[in-house]
Amino acid sequence: MPDDKMNLYLFEAIELRAEYDARIKLLRSLLPEARERRDRFSFHRDDEVRYVPAAGFDAAAVRGELDTLNVKRRKLNTASRRSTSRPSSTSAASV
């Protein structure tokens, strides 16, 4: 958690980045284009089987959330790189 000065410590940033990576991987696997790529090299593919998303699934909302998480991950990476490149501050990244 960020402290009063909105500093996020490096070990917290690494954990948060791992959570972002896991969430991004999950959301990408839910998108229809990911299934098409996955089935491209499958030799046991049954052409009669069709995958249909659940009734409440909104691919546009998932893509929007995926874009948001990618932006957050990039900002977190930038902040952690800045904090490790500064010789005077090695323990906190400002997010």
At 29-40, the pLDDT tens digits run 888 887 766 555
Q: What local confidence, expressed as pLDDT, does residue 20 receive?
A: 96
Of residues 5 and 87, more confidence is placed in 5
- pLDDT for res 33: 82
What is the reported pLDDT for 73?
Answer: 95
**Amino acid symbol at 7:** N
Q: Calculate mean pLDDT across residues 5-26.
A: 87
pTM: 0.68
Residue 17 has pLDDT above 80, yes or no: yes
